[in-house]
Amino acid sequence: MGFRFRKSIDVLGLFRINFSKSGISFSYGLPGYRVTKMANGQTRKTVSIPGTGVSHVTTSGKSKKSLTKADETKKKLKAASKAKTTKKG
């Protein structure tokens, strides 16, 4: 079983700073709606019915893994393009 660490600090009840093993994230909102900018660069929007435990979460943006894969693909395409140019000349 893995261990988790998270510490939150509320600022004026509308803004929250979250500290975790993966980094620092920020969130803001009112009861029933919250937007979180996560440590991995993604944005999470949570809509809920307060007091019921019912909520819906949507996540957008690219994670660090996605960015790394995209960077690798760009490098491969650039290398392939360079190889074609060298063969012609």
Q: How many domains does the chain have?
A: 1
Assess contact for 6 and 19: CB atoms under 8 A.
yes
Query: Structural domain of residue 58, as residue ranges?
Result: 6-88
CA-to-CA distance for 62 and 38, rounded, in angstroms?
Answer: 11
pLDDT in tens, 24-60: 999 999 989 999 999 888 999 999 999 999 999 999 9
pLDDT-derived band at 74 (thresholds 50, 70, 90) equals confident
Name the token pair of 54. Answer: 């019912």
DSSP SS3 for 27: strand
- Identify whether 1 is part of a domain: no
Q: Classify residue 30: in a domain, yes or no.
A: yes
Please state the length of the chain: 89
What distance lies between CA 68 and its chain's CA centroid?
14
pLDDT at 67 over 60: no
The pLDDT of residue 71 is above 90:
no
